[in-house]
């Protein structure tokens, strides 16, 4: 049976891992390659490196980070943040990433999803959607949550899947960094609407939150950062807990 995935997210700025609260107030949390190796050993199912600032200097540091991380990692590696063009995607995949995560650039030019998928396959393309509850339902925001888009989260997820995305990474801006639980309603709305896997993100604080997002949010994978980084809950403990709750987990590694 297909296991639900636990994905550790490393928010990286200038080669260092940081983690923000609601995308603001970043603080340093460690060396990415060291964390990657630890996760590999501890049984995390996948790793995502998110370049949170994506300046020109930061980008060169990012490619070095990807090379360093992928050298020691034999589980899937996704990279997102500031990928604007096919050339950006190529550089990141050449450095050792298995998947690229497209966000603002895909909203600005949805054909980028298809362009990257045609060259590297749909399995290499994640469309990241930052969503927030608003008067019109689940609204989509680009540029690190600062700019509101015209389309809703469900409609955009459907379009992304039609255009060749292999997975959706769905982040709740309302919950990100709050540790109050994933937005299960948002996750279920998107997951039930698309044929491709949905990764839920934003709000993980307790093992119970993961059980909720898998069982009621219909998530295929859940992504978190700080809950893993500071060893508050060892990956194995979390997996054992979820397995006992009836969530299929990979327990051999």
Partner 1 sequence: MDIVLIDYGAGNLTSVVKGLTAVGASPRVVTQPEAAAGADAFVIPGVGHFSATASLTGAWTTTIREAIDRGTPVLGICLGLQWLFEGSDEADDVAGLGLLPGRCFRLSGNVKVPHVGWNTLDAGAARESRLLAGLPAGASAYFTHSYAAPVGAASAAVTTHGVPFASAVEAGRTFGVQFHPEKSGTTGLRMLENFLAVVREGR
CA distance 168 to 78: 12
Q: How far is CA 44 from the centre of its chain?
A: 14
Interface with partner 1, residue 221, by CB under 8 A: yes
Q: Which of 74, 87, 135, 246 binds partner 1 (CB under 8 A)?
A: 74
Q: Which is nearer to partner 1, 70 or 103 (CB)?
A: 70
Please report whether residue 3 would count as binding partner 1 according to CB under 8 A.
yes
Tell me the C-alpha to C-alpha distance, in Å, between residue 10 and each of 35, 58, 145, 230: 8, 15, 18, 12
70 lies in the binding site for partner 1 (CB under 8 A): yes
Q: How far apart are alpha carbons 154 and 141 in whole angstroms?
A: 13
Single out the catalytic residue among 11, 51, 88, 183: 11
Among residue numbers 101 through 120, which ones bind partner 1 (CB under 8 A)? 120
Exactly one of 45, 88, 130, 212 is catalytic; which is it?
A: 130
CB of 18 to partner 1, least distance (A): 26
Window contacting partner 1 (CB under 8 A); options: 52-60, 140-148, 172-180, 189-197 = 189-197
Instruction: Tell me phi and psi for residue 205, to 5 degrees.
Output: -135, -35
Smallest gap from Cβ 228 to partner 1, in A, equals: 16
The answer to whether residue 88 forms part of the interface with partner 1 (CB under 8 A) is no
Name which of 52 and 126 has its Cβ closer to partner 1.
126
Please identify, among the stretches 72-80, 139-147, 204-212, 236-244, the one whose residues bind partner 1 according to the rule CB under 8 A.
Answer: 72-80
**Cβ(105)–Cβ(145) below 8 Å:** no
Burial class (CB in 10 A: 0-12, 13-18, 19+), 111: exposed
40 lies in the site for partner 1, by CB under 8 A: yes
Q: Say if residues 230 and 242 touch (Cβ distance below 8 Å).
A: no
Told to check if 75 binds partner 1 by CB under 8 A, we report: yes
| Residue 11 annotated as catalytic | yes
92-100, 106-114, 181-189, 202-210 -> range binding partner 1 (CB under 8 A): 92-100
Picking from 40, 128, 117, the residue whose alpha carbon sits closest to that of residue 82 is 128
Q: Give the shortest CB-120-to-partner 1 separation in angstroms.
A: 6
**Footprint of partner 1 on residues 117-156 (CB under 8 A)?**
120-124
* Separation CA 52–CA 18 (nearest Å): 8
Angle between helices 32-42 and 56-71 (to 10 degrees): 30
3-state secondary structure (DSSP) of residue 180: coil
Residue 183, CA distances (Å) to 16, 138, 178, 211 in order: 28, 11, 11, 12
Separation between Cα atoms, residue 165 and residue 159, nearest integer Å: 9
Is residue 5 a contact point for partner 1 (CB under 8 A)? yes
Residues near partner 1, by CB under 8 A: 1-5, 40, 45, 70-71, 74-76, 93-94, 96, 98, 120-124, 166-167, 195-197, 220-221, 250, 252-253
Residues with a catalytic annotation lie at 11, 130
């Amino acid at each position: 049976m297909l296991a639900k995935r636990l994905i550790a997210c490393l928010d990286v700025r200038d080669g260092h891992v940081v983690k923000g609260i609601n995308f603001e107030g970043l603080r340093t949390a460690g060396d990415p390659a060291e964390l990657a190796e630890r996760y590999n050993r501890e049984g995390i199912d996948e790793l995502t490196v998110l370049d949170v600032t994506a300046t020109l200097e930061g980008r060169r540091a990012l490619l070095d980070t990807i090379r360093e991380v992928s050298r020691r990692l034999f589980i899937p590696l996704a990279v997102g943040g500031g990928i604007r063009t096919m050339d950006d995607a190529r550089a990141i995949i050449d450095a050792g990433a298995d998947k690229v995560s497209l966000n603002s650039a895909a909203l600005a030019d949805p054909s980028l999803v298809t362009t990257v998928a045609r060259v590297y396959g749909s399995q290499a393309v994640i469309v990241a959607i930052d969503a927030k509850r608003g008067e019109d339902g689940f609204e989509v925001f680009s540029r690190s949550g600062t700019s509101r888009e015209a389309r809703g989260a469900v409609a955009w997820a459907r379009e992304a899947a039609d255009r060749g995305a292999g997975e959706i990474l769905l982040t709740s801006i309302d919950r990100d960094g709050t540790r109050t639980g994933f937005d299960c309603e948002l996750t279920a709305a998107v997951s039930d609407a698309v044929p491709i896997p949905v990764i839920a993100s934003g709000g993980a604080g307790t093992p119970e939150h993961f059980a909720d997002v898998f069982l009621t949010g219909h998530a295929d994978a859940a992504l978190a950062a700080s809950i893993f980084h500071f060893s508050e809950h060892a990956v194995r403990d979390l997996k054992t807990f979820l397995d006992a709750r009836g969530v299929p987990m990979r327990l051999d590694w």
